[in-house]
Structure 1
Amino acid sequence: VETRLLVATIREGETVVDLGSGGGMDVFLSVPKVGPNGQVIGIDMNPDMVARARRSASQKNLHPPQVCFVQALLTQPLPIKDSSVDCILSNCVINLLPESGKRSVLKECWRVLKPGGRIVLDDIIAKKELPEELKNDMQKFVECISGAIQIDFYRGLLTESGFKDVNFVQLQADLNVYAQSKPTGGSSGCCGASGGCGTPRASTTPALEEPSFDINAYVASYQIYSVKAKDVAAVTQESSTALLQWWDAYPTPKSNVGNISVSEVISLLQSDKTEYAVIDVRRDDHAGGHVKGSFQHPAQTFYDELPAFFEKYSAMKQVIFYCQRSTGRGTRCAKWYQDYLEEHRTGSASQVLIMTGGIRAWLDALSKNDQLIGYD
């Protein structure tokens, strides 16, 4: 891991993506290097590993957008903006993909890298064509070895994706050692407990049956490095995140919540009732009017603030969310809050609701009565 990060030369303020991030080891090691103004995004297909990494990040007080863990298939387009990433890392993961997946993800790496951005991959490469019976035998010991491709083919995939001057450096790793140790599931890559393509850390789990062949005769561990040419035309936009959708960094909400009409909210505001709260989750588009007396809690930071939000509003009989049209951020935050109430068994009697139509419907309904419209 240390060698991979050293080669990557990660700098302060950069955006780094780790493909197949597993429990987040490379992500967490990269955070001090990018600093508070940088961003590190881990992408993994395994929901359990993503959930584990998010819990670890929360325990370390690391939150989006600085640190994000996203569940996504590497065989599909990456959920990352064009030309937004300075460095891509991957540890024994490309090898796990079918040929079409390898081809796709390397093209995606080229797309998301900024001009001058770099890619550093640790992977297992075949020294020669693997016979079918050997592939089948190997799957008993190291699943990803059977997906190893030869170096010329690997280079061709990278060149086809747009990379030039690709460097392959063979690492001095005895892969037989890994084959004789049982992975503990600490990583989603092919190297299990080792967290890399080198010699695994000692394990107390029972050893597997010793393979009937020398794995090192057929495959080797390599570090692969290349840079996207600086003269490639690219349109870059300043943003706090390289993610296409900021909410990908958070769990998908599960709960269902009810709706409340604008007229019903108007009645609440005009009544003597006080045991309700109206929550505006807009941020940059908050100007132009809001529900008078509403509280602003931007959606982009809402999930991380759920405990404090609960402490503030748990006594309210109704907690009403809205955004521009209440079809995106407002709905998502309302469901996240309902999830929190249910998962933590808070005992709160709060009814979580979404104001139908959002601020647009509110402004339309009150065009002749701006006493219930607040302005910054």
Structure 2
Amino acid sequence: MTSVGEEAIDSTDPISCTRLIDVASVTEGETVLYLGCGTGSGVLYIAKRVGDKGQVIGIDERLDAIAQARRTATARDLRPPRVAFVHVLQTDELPVLSDSVDCVVSMWSLRSDSEERQEEEKLGNEIWRVVKPGGRVVLSMKDIPESLRSKLVVDAVYNHGSQPEVAMNDNKIFYRLHAVKPPRKEEDGYLPLESALRDWWTAYPAPVSEVQHLDCGDVANMMRNGSEKQGDYVVIDVRRKDHAGGHVRGSVQCPAQTFYDDLPSFYERFGEKKQVVFYCGSSHGRGPRCARWYQDYLNAKGDTRPEALVMRGGIKEWKERFGGDDGLTDRDAD
């Protein structure tokens, strides 16, 4: 595995790690999936190559390594979706959309003769699923799982010289393969993706705090009580484009997809509020997740005065009950 350095990859086997990435021939704007990314220095190395328009997703089994990778990336202002780190076990399904990745780089061992052959065949199928037609898969191994061997074509792999060859270094073999699979017929190609991740929130730590829910009527009563309590609370709408169709009057829009990265500035802005009420479309996903992230942040700071809450039912229930009340519901101007 790798550890984070300022500019170069620091690894127990640095030649193999850097060689594997170089063999991948990553270019600007590509989406790359890195399996077995460790503490993330290889991902940061790739991020320089793909640039601002590309994306790199690092996956590892060690939660502590992923946490370190996220801290390092944040310190360098590399954030999702451009650079994302996800904790996934090697036996799990990859949290990546099908046909969404230009290149898969794997530091995971995938020996077809191992006792875990069934799990490795499953991972091989997952790699096949996520790589685009014509996309590349770069592996360091002696034997390729049958689930990949039968579906990928081995390309030439470059060693120190300029001539293509299968490269061997310290008993490692480097394969670059390309996927021979038919492209999707929809739209005669691929629609642009903001992220290859199936679920955007997997790029962030899972929240641990539990939060209380408020009924929509309780929030409406808070708003009706007047100025004496107005400064004690704030209502946060964590939706994004769906905000325009109607929202709680006076609510502040803070999209969930960037909320975790903005926690320090959010606290600086609303840390004096005793009650911070979050909602989304139905308050089943984005709203509770952001409320729990904020409560985690408060707990970490030892700040017990504010409280993160969730408006039960979200904007869907709010509009059913108060959509016709202009004092409680507002809409963006056309």
Change (3 A) 1:7 1:261: same
Amino acid at match of 1:308: S
Q: Any unmatched runs of 5+ in structure 2?
A: 1-16, 158-165
Give the Cα–Cα distance (whole angstroms) in 2 for the partners of residues 253 and 270 of structure 1. 32
Structure 1 position 370 matched with structure 2 position 326: yes
Could you tell me how far 1:57 is from its partner in structure 2?
1.0
CA contact (8 A) 1:114 1:234 kept: no
Mapping for residues 135-284 of structure 1, pairs under 5 Å: 151=143, 154=144, 156-160=146-150, 162-165=151-154, 169-173=166-170, 220-229=171-180, 231-233=182-184, 236-272=190-226, 273-274=229-230, 275-284=232-241
Could you tell me how far 1:14 is from its partner in structure 2?
0.7
CA contact (8 A) 1:83 1:234 kept: no
Within the candidate set 37, 41, 48, 1:25 is matched to 41
Q: Any unmatched runs of 5+ in structure 1?
A: 126-150, 174-219
Could you tell me how far 1:166 is from its partner in structure 2?
5.5
Give the Cα–Cα distance (whole angstroms) in 2 for the partners of residues 341 and 2 of structure 1. 40
SS at match of 2:169: coil
CA contact (8 A) 2:121 2:146 kept: no
Aligned to 1:321: 278
Amino acid at match of 1:71: H
Amino acid at match of 2:78: L
The Cα offsets for residues 230-263 of structure 1, whole Å up to 9 and x where unpaired, read as 6444653322110110000001100011111111
Give the Cα–Cα distance (whole angstroms) in 1 for the partners of residues 183 and 282 of structure 2. 39
CA contact (8 A) 1:277 1:294 kept: yes
TM normalised by structure 1 equals 0.76
Aligned to 1:299: 256
Give the Cα–Cα distance (whole angstroms) in 2 for the partners of residues 295 and 113 of structure 1. 39
Could you tell me how far 1:45 is from its partner in structure 2?
1.3
CA contact (8 A) 2:323 2:329 kept: no
- Specify the structure having the higher radius of gyration (Cα): 1
The Cα offsets for residues 166-214 of structure 1, whole Å up to 9 and x where unpaired, read as 65724231xxxxxxxxxxxxxxxxxxxxxxxxxxxxxxxxxxxxxxxxx
SS at match of 2:175: strand
The Cα offsets for residues 19-69 of structure 1, whole Å up to 9 and x where unpaired, read as 011111210100011111111000111111111111111111111001110
Amino acid at match of 1:85: V
Aligned to 1:353: 309
Change (3 A) 1:80 1:97: farther
Could you tell me how far 1:97 is from its partner in structure 2?
8.2
CA contact (8 A) 1:115 1:234 kept: no
Amino acid at match of 1:18: Y
CA contact (8 A) 1:19 1:93 kept: no
SS at match of 2:140: strand
My pick for the range that moved more, 298-307 or 348-357, is: 348-357
SS at match of 2:105: strand
Amino acid at match of 1:164: V
How many aligned positions are there?
300
Aligned to 1:148: none
Aligned to 1:53: 69
For the aligned residue pairs, the C-alpha RMSD in angstroms reads 1.8
Could you tell me how far 1:119 is from its partner in structure 2?
0.6
Amino acid at match of 1:342: N
Amino acid at match of 1:321: F
Amino acid at match of 2:328: L
Change (3 A) 1:314 1:155: closer
Could you tell me how far 1:3 is from its partner in structure 2?
2.3
Change (3 A) 1:39 1:119: same
Mapping for residues 69-88 of structure 1, pairs under 5 Å: 69-88=85-104
SS at match of 2:22: helix
Change (3 A) 1:57 1:361: same
Mapping for residues 80-99 of structure 1, pairs under 5 Å: 80-95=96-111, 98-99=116-117
Change (3 A) 1:233 1:261: closer
CA contact (8 A) 1:85 1:112 kept: yes
Aligned to 2:163: none
TM normalised by structure 2 equals 0.85
CA contact (8 A) 2:244 2:331 kept: yes
The Cα offsets for residues 148-181 of structure 1, whole Å up to 9 and x where unpaired, read as xxx4xx2644223x112365724231xxxxxxxx
Change (3 A) 1:341 1:155: closer
SS at match of 2:80: coil
> Percentage identity across aligned positions?
41
Within the candidate set 111, 135, 139, 1:117 is matched to 135
SS at match of 1:224: strand
The Cα offsets for residues 73-129 of structure 1, whole Å up to 9 and x where unpaired, read as 222221100100001111253348821122111111111011111011123x2xxxx
